[in-house]
Amino acid sequence: MTTDQATPALDVAGLTHTAGSRRVLDDCSFAVPAGSVTALVGRNGAGKSTLLRTAVGLLRPDRGAVRVFGKPAGDEALPRIGYVGQQSPLYPMLTVAQTLTLGGRLNAHWDAGYARRLTGDAGLLPTTRVGSLTAGRRSRLALVMALAKRPDLLVLDEPLAPLDPVARAEVTGALMAGVAERGTTVMLSSHVVADIDGICDHVVVLAEGRVRLAAEVEQALTSHLVAVGASRALTDLDGGKVIEVRAAGSEATALIRSVEPVAATGLAWHRPTLEELILGYLRTPATQPERKVTAA
């Protein structure tokens, strides 16, 4: 299958979903460029899983649309999507070999040789029952199932959560190798910033069901600055955008959307790390009005 680089792999427009009386997703819009590795970051309950389930067609949103490579999410888009849900749901009564056979039966583009190689690399024995695998190994198998489908878009819902540090490194390596081999677009969710640092080139920050930031990582880091100094100096800032201010005694740290330091005395400026950037957006209540600061 060919991937048109101009068409977004995933185009989310005005997505709104309500569960009971709670609005889980609120007018979410962003696009995932083809060939990118995009991290969807948010706190527990932010709506990450709901958004990803909607993207792969497992949920029908109340409002809004999701398009996968230009086509509406649903049956038509399924052959191009590899999905690993939270807890890596697989049939526990099947063996690893039966699970792979099932993948072959249900997917026209199934790459059996690749699946065998990946299971071998992961140390998964064909005769082992899925139900007896540890959470980490089941996660590896679920990833194999998604990769061997040879998808153009890989959607992973907290794939690293059940893994120990060594397994995390192995899975990340396997994932990135698979992605690099075919230029697969990846959208993965996490609430651990360290998991995505260094592997994603785009980031979407979701808080209270709303998209707080959707940008290319490098661009986002370049267009933000962290100011450290006296609380008084920070409160005097006006113009531009103060994303978040955290005070500790008389000192305070602020994340500001600005390319250059703002004219203010007694402040030290530095480029934020990905963690500082994401945490700044996550800690800010979605309803808080943005304050302006003037660029120097």
58 forms part of the interface with other proteins (CB under 8 A): yes
Dist CA 151 CA 49 (whole Å) = 20
Binder to other proteins among 97, 102, 161, 221 (CB under 8 A)?
Answer: 102
1 forms part of the interface with other proteins (CB under 8 A): no
- With CA atoms as reference, report the closest residue to 77 among 54, 98, 96, 97: 54
60 or 271, CB closer to other proteins?
60
- Contact indicator for 190, 84 with CB cutoff of 8 Å: no
In the complex, what is the shortest distance from the CB of residue 117 to other proteins, in angstroms, rounded to a whole number? Answer: 20
Dist CA 9 CA 184 (whole Å) = 10
Residues 131 to 160 in contact with other proteins, rule: CB under 8 A: 142, 145, 149
Binder to other proteins among 17, 53, 137, 224 (CB under 8 A)?
Answer: 53
The Cβ of residue 96 has, within 10 Å, a number of other Cβ atoms equal to: 23
Where b means 16+ CB within 10 Å and e means fewer, 159-180 reads bbbbbeeebbebbbebbeebbe
The residues near 37 (Cβ < 8 Å, ≥ 6 apart) are 176, 179, 185, 186, 188, 199, 200, 201, 202
Binder to other proteins among 7, 107, 231, 235 (CB under 8 A)?
Answer: 107
What does DSSP assign to residue 61? -
In the complex, what is the shortest distance from the CB of residue 276 to other proteins, in angstroms, rounded to a whole number? Answer: 34
Binder to other proteins among 90, 133, 179, 293 (CB under 8 A)?
Answer: 90
81 or 96, CB closer to other proteins?
81
Tell me the window of 7-15, 72-80, 203-211, 273-281 that interacts with other proteins (CB under 8 A).
72-80
Residues that bind other proteins (CB under 8 A): 53, 56-60, 72-75, 78-79, 81, 83, 85-87, 89-94, 98, 102-103, 105-109, 142, 145, 149
